[in-house]
């Protein structure tokens, strides 16, 4: 295995960092010497995560910021709080995500899976773009999934008001992650900021525990065959820190290797239309 790259002097922001892949990625980056900022929605779980990272690396430089990605106001507050504390950002790891058995809506009225998995990281990335570019070479890493192959972008029903099927809606949000990454990479050409996305593997974490029916049963029944959270975090950490991907942008990775995503995920027209819609929904203009 390639030795872990040192990240001394670098600042990393990890969303969804209170458990699972996000927490393991934060631990690994802290062990590599980075200053790591954990973002999560629950204050108590953030405090526990801080203790966990410091226990793994006693001299870890780690802090936390609270934000609920079901609120775009919270996302804006997170970006402002980060920039008030830090003058640089070398890695933004957009890891936070969820899957829901039934349709729910965010505080802004968006379908929750689409809002939390796509719109929130889309907005956060834009709000932190200035500090990312100023810190170059810097990286944006977006956690997607092979579930994107089950997704289908219906621009007439992005909020799944007409029809809701858990895996299709989740897959669509992960498809959106890849399309966002590729559209962002095109816009970042000629800069020192790169962006890539990844499938972490099928990981044994708390993910999916907020579902019901067959999905919850499947998660419980086959958990023993899933990857550990530490294994699932490896590609995220690789894309965040490895010299091997310096300058690489717009790619989709599985097991630290570039892979070809679905044909829909490579559709530039889809990506550009999604970008425009996402700007309108989040109120940003690049």
Q: Are strands 252-254 and 91-94 parallel, antiparallel or unpaired?
A: unpaired
Catalytic residue among 150, 170, 238, 252: 170
Average per-residue pLDDT in the chain?
Answer: 92
Tens digits of per-residue pLDDT, 73-84?
Answer: 999 999 999 999
Confidence of residue 202 (pLDDT cuts 50, 70, 90): confident
Confidence of residue 221 (pLDDT cuts 50, 70, 90): very low
Query: According to the model, what pLDDT value does residue 3 have?
Result: 65
On whether the CB atoms of residues 58 and 106 are closer than 8 A, the answer is no
Query: According to the model, what pLDDT value does residue 214 have?
Result: 46
**Assigned token pair, 185:** 């990479």
Tell the CATH topology of 11-282: Rossmann fold (3.40.50)
Neighbouring residues of 225: CB distance < 8 A, sequence distance ≥ 6: none
On whether the CB atoms of residues 17 and 39 are closer than 8 A, the answer is yes
Tens digits of per-residue pLDDT, 66-121?
Answer: 999 999 999 999 999 999 999 999 999 999 999 999 999 999 999 999 999 999 99
- How far separated are the first and last CA of the chain, in Å rounded? 39
Q: Is 78 left (phi over 0), alpha (psi -120 to 50) or beta?
A: alpha
Whole-number Å distance between alpha carbons of 281 and 37: 27
Whole-number Å distance between alpha carbons of 26 and 31: 8
Mean pLDDT across the stretch 230-249? 96
Task: Compute the half-sphere exposure of residue 36: CA atoms within 13 Å on the CB side of its CA.
Answer: 35
For the chain, domain boundaries = 11-282
Whole-number Å distance between alpha carbons of 187 and 171: 25
Q: What does the DSSP 8-state code read for residue 2?
A: P
Is position 170 annotated as part of the catalytic site?
A: yes
């Amino acid at each position: 295995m390639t030795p872990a790259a040192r990240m001394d002097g670098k600042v990393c922001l990890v969303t969804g960092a209170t458990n699972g892949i996000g927490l393991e990625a934060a631990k690994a980056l802290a062990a590599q010497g980075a200053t790591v900022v954990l973002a999560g929605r629950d204050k108590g779980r953030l405090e526990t995560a801080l203790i966990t990272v410091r226990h793994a690396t006693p001299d870890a430089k780690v802090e936390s910021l609270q934000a609920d990605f079901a609120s775009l106001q919270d996302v804006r507050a997170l970006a402002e709080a980060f920039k008030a504390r830090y003058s640089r950002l070398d890695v933004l790891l957009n890891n936070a995500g969820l899957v829901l058995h039934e349709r729910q809506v965010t505080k802004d009225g968006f379908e929750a899976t689409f809002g939390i998995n796509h719109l929130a990281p889309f907005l956060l990335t834009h709000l932190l773009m200035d500090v990312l570019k100023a810190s170059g070479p810097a990286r944006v890493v977006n956690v997607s999934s092979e579930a994107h192959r089950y997704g289908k972008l219906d621009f007439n029903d992005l909020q799944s008001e007409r029809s809701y099927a858990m895996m299709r809606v989740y897959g669509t949000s992960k498809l959106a992650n890849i399309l966002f990454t590729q559209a962002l990479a095109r816009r970042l050409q000629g800069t020192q900021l790169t962006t890539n996305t990844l499938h972490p593997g099928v990981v044994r974490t708390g993910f999916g525990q907020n579902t019901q029916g067959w999905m919850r049963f499947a998660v419980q029944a086959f958990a023993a065959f899933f990857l550990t959270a530490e294994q699932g975090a490896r590609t995220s950490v690789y894309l965040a820190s490895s010299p091997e991907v310096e300058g690489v942008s717009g790619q989709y990775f599985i097991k630290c290797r570039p892979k070809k995503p679905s044909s829909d995920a490579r559709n530039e027209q889809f990506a550009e239309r999604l970008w425009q819609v996402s700007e309108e929904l989040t109120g940003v203009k690049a």
